[in-house]
């Protein structure tokens, strides 16, 4: 593994104009995991710690993502004619056809000879993010290789599946391994960013400095993205003392202990042992809570521990214990019922379901209900339904409830808090 000093040098080269004269951060050895970023002085809540440009960025491309999106500027195009006229197989708008970036990428893909260059192929288009690493200079390649790459059983599939779409795809072992490692690095470190041209087009972006930040379930920072150039802007969510590690959350803040642990184990290959994860009640937020199944008890049941993904559960009131299999069935039923209502229903119908039906089978503090309330808040801002006074009152109440959860979790002043406070007043 590259030493922290050399890593910092490569990062500073990549930062370019974003490099600070007196940065408030440094790279060091972390007690959480390997390397980390640490405060070189006291940092006040709300202060910008650093800005970082993506080393790699490109389309995530899920099955529902529109393929008629320019691979350079990510703007939506005519669904009939949107592939590059020169036969590289990539979506391209007229404005970007003359850009230096695409000319290099077009030459690379034509060298590989797409089998059907005038037929949209999700595997070919998705590969562009990885293929862009082929055009790196020496410092960029060194920086890429310095980043963590978790190896799982599927990371080779992206390149393998895409290679079948080309007549002359590279077979050189060093090149193929370089592409495989790039995929692993993206899977381990990338952030999801929405395109500034269309909000439903997700991009995966690799930030060298932000990618080194370690995880805490109650992090001391929050981040946003500059819509024009996808620069990540990291701010302190609370006061950070000199020498303290600067952290972010790899998971959603409103997920329960078990949900976060499962996600981290499956995608990041580690288990979190932070203070929040060690507390079954999560500071009183009770995001894991389910109803006790005893007829004469109205208490809430929570997992006893997070050291295993199949823990025993215990009622906080009567102290009765339940096997994980019993409680997971209740959790799965709640998840299925709420997700079914979220898909294809009006916001009004979802509000009625949350207020009237959900309390009959799952506590309102459970993370599934909490996420559904957050979904309502965000959808009300975007949709054009004819909402009534009581609908806005429900939204206001949801905002207040979620802000109360953030208070219990002690997350500080983060982007979610700012958003909820704004929506509460709309």
Dihedral (CA of 375, 380, 386, 390) sign: positive
In the chain the domains, ranked by start, together with CATH numbers, are 4-53+207-248 (2.170.270.10), 56-206 (no CATH), 257-290+327-425 (1.25.40.10)
- Model confidence band, residue 199 (pLDDT cutoffs 50, 70, 90): low
Contact 72, 101 (CB under 8 A): yes
Burial of 132 (0-12, 13-18, 19+ CB in 10 A): buried
pTM of the model: 0.91
pLDDT at 268 over 70: yes
Q: Which of 3-7, 157-161, 415-419 has the lowest mean pLDDT?
A: 3-7
Structure tokens belonging to residue 115: 């089998």
What's the rounded mean pLDDT across residues 354-359?
95
What's the rounded mean pLDDT across residues 360-372?
96
Contact 182, 211 (CB under 8 A): no
Q: What pLDDT shows up at residue 57?
A: 96
CB atoms within 10 A of CB 199: 9
Distance from C-alpha of 106 to C-alpha of 113, rounded to nearest angstrom:
10
Which one, of 298, 332, 347, lies nearest residue 318 by Cα?
Answer: 298
What's the rounded mean pLDDT across residues 356-371?
96
Structure tokens belonging to residue 78: 């005519």
Using DSSP's 3-state secondary structure scheme, residue 114 falls into: strand
Using DSSP's 3-state secondary structure scheme, residue 146 falls into: coil
Burial of 73 (0-12, 13-18, 19+ CB in 10 A): middle
Q: What pLDDT shows up at residue 1?
A: 63
Token look-up 């949900």 returns: 259
What's the rounded mean pLDDT across residues 281-297?
95
β-partners of residue 105 are none
Contact 163, 169 (CB under 8 A): yes
Distance, CA of 326 to chain centre: 30
270 vs 281, residue with greater confidence:
281
């Amino acid at each position: 593994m590259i030493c922290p000093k050399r890593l910092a040098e490569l990062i500073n080269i990549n930062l370019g104009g974003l490099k600070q004269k007196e940065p408030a951060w440094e790279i060091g050895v972390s007690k959480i995991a390997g390397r980390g970023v640490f405060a070189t002085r006291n940092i006040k809540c709300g202060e910008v710690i650093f800005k970082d440009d993506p080393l790699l960025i490109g389309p995530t491309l899920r099955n529902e993502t529109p393929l008629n999106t320019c691979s350079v500027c990510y703007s939506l195009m005519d669904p009939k004619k949107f592939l590059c006229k020169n036969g590289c197989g990539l979506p391209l708008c007229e404005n970007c056809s003359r850009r230096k970036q695409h000319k290099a990428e077009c030459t690379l893909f034509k060298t590989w000879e797409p089998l059907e260059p005038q037929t949209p192929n999700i595997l070919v288009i998705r590969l562009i993010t990885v293929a862009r690493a082929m055009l790196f200079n020496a410092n960029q390649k060194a920086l890429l290789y310095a980043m963590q790459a978790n190896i799982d059983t599927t990371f080779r599939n992206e390149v393998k599946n895409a290679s079948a779409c080309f007549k002359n795809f590279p077979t050189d072992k060093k090149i193929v391994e370089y592409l495989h490692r790039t995929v692993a690095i993206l899977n381990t470190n990338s952030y999801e960013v929405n395109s500034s041209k269309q909000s439903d087009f997700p991009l995966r972006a690799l930030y060298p400095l932000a990618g080194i930040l370690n995880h805490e379930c109650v992090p001391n920072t929050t981040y946003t993205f500059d819509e024009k150039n996808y620069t990540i802007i990291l701010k302190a969510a609370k006061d950070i003392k000199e020498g303290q590690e600067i952290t972010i959350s790899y998971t959603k803040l409103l997920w329960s202990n078990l949900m976060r642990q499962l996600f981290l184990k499956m995608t990041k290959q580690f288990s979190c042992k932070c203070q929040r994860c060690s507390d079954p009640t999560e500071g009183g937020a009770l995001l894991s809570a389910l109803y006790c199944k005893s007829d004469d008890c109205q208490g809430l049941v929570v997992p006893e521990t997070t050291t295993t993904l199949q823990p025993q559960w215990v009622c906080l009131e009567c102290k009765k214990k339940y096997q994980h299999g019993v409680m997971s069935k209740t959790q799965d039923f709640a998840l299925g019922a709420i997700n079914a209502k979220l898909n294809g229903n009006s916001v009004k119908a979802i509000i009625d379901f949350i207020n009237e039906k959900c309390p009959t089978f799952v506590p309102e503090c459970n993370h599934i209900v909490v996420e559904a309330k957050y979904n309502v808040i965000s959808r009300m801002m975007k949709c054009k339904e004819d909402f009534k006074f009581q609908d806005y009152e429900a939204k206001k109440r949801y905002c207040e409830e979620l802000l109360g959860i953030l208070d219990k979790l002690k997350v500080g002043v983060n982007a979610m808090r700012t958003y909820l406070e704004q929506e509460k007043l709309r």
